[in-house]
Amino acid sequence: MSGMSEVIISVPHFKKAPHETVDHEHPYDAAAGNLADHIKFSLTKCLADVKIRRGDVPRSEMDLNRRESRDSDWRKKTREDVEKGKTLLVDVHSFGKSSKFAEFDVVVMDKSDSEEKDLQDEIVDNLKKMGYKVGKYRADPLINDIYRDIVTEQGARDGVLIEMNEDLKEKSPQIAALIGQGVCNSFKKYYKEHPPLIMVE
């Protein structure tokens, strides 16, 4: 079922092929689906319309985070969820020991180099306060095509790409709550500036 959402939680590398394991050069994000579920749960405290989009094809068949997947049903449905100027994207991934991010617990990416504090900054601060080792990067538009498509081209209000170390899977509830806190605060500011219309009969 499609429809505009306040938050889209995308998990493009969710599905694995039957023969694949985490030893096959990281073909799927083993901890991302669990983290996405916990993020959605954390957002139920402040938002009514949160949608998880789990990748429906293995990465070995099609990488849903690359431009060549834009015509796939999954990418089309994800675009349909966007309400321009309102929707937030949380694009969820996880990484293993061989990753270039292996020194971190969590990596948070967005498109902005702005000096103003934004969603990425708030999530990074929340995680660091709890002792997590956090990497902060700009999302590469040539690699992170979901982010480019949804935020830059479809006009979502903001977004972050989250990468979590798979060794921290048991910490997913706490990490998700800290991410959710940042998203909820972003919507508090949004609804203060854009109060919902109240229908009077």
Kindly tell me if the per-residue pLDDT of 81 is higher than 80. Answer: yes
In tens, the pLDDT along 8-27 reads 999 999 998 877 665 545 67
Give me the percent of the chain exceeding a pLDDT of 70. Answer: 90
Kindly tell me if the per-residue pLDDT of 51 is higher than 80. Answer: yes
Least confident of 4-8, 64-68, 113-117: 113-117
Partners of 136 in beta bridges: 108
Three-state SS sequence of 30-52: CCHHHHHHHHHHHHCCCCCCEEE
Map residue 73 onto helix, strand or coil: helix
Spatial distance between the Cα atoms of 136 and 128, rounded to a whole number of angstroms: 11
Least confident of 31-35, 95-99, 132-136: 95-99
CA distances from 142 to 14, 20, 27, 86 (A): 20, 26, 19, 24
How many Cβ atoms from other residues are within 10 Å of residue 122's Cβ?
Answer: 19
CB 50 within 8 A of CB 83: no
The string of DSSP letters for 106-152 reads: EEEEES---SS--HHHHHHHHHHHTT--EEEEEPPTTT-HHHIIIII
Helices (H) and strands (E) in the chain, counts: 5, 6
Q: Which residue has the higher pLDDT, 3 or 182?
A: 182
Q: Please work out, in degrees rounded to the nearest 5, the angle formed at the alpha carbon of residue 120 by the alpha carbons of 56 and 112.
A: 95
Kindly tell me if the per-residue pLDDT of 197 is higher than 70. Answer: no
Kindly tell me if the per-residue pLDDT of 70 is higher than 70. Answer: yes
Spatial distance between the Cα atoms of 160 and 107, rounded to a whole number of angstroms: 10
Map residue 19 onto helix, strand or coil: coil
Q: Which H or E element spans position 161?
A: strand 158-165
The architecture (CATH level 2) of 7-193 comes to 3-Layer(aba) Sandwich (3.40)
Kindly tell me if the per-residue pLDDT of 199 is higher than 50. Answer: no
What integer best gives the mean pLDDT of the chain? Answer: 91
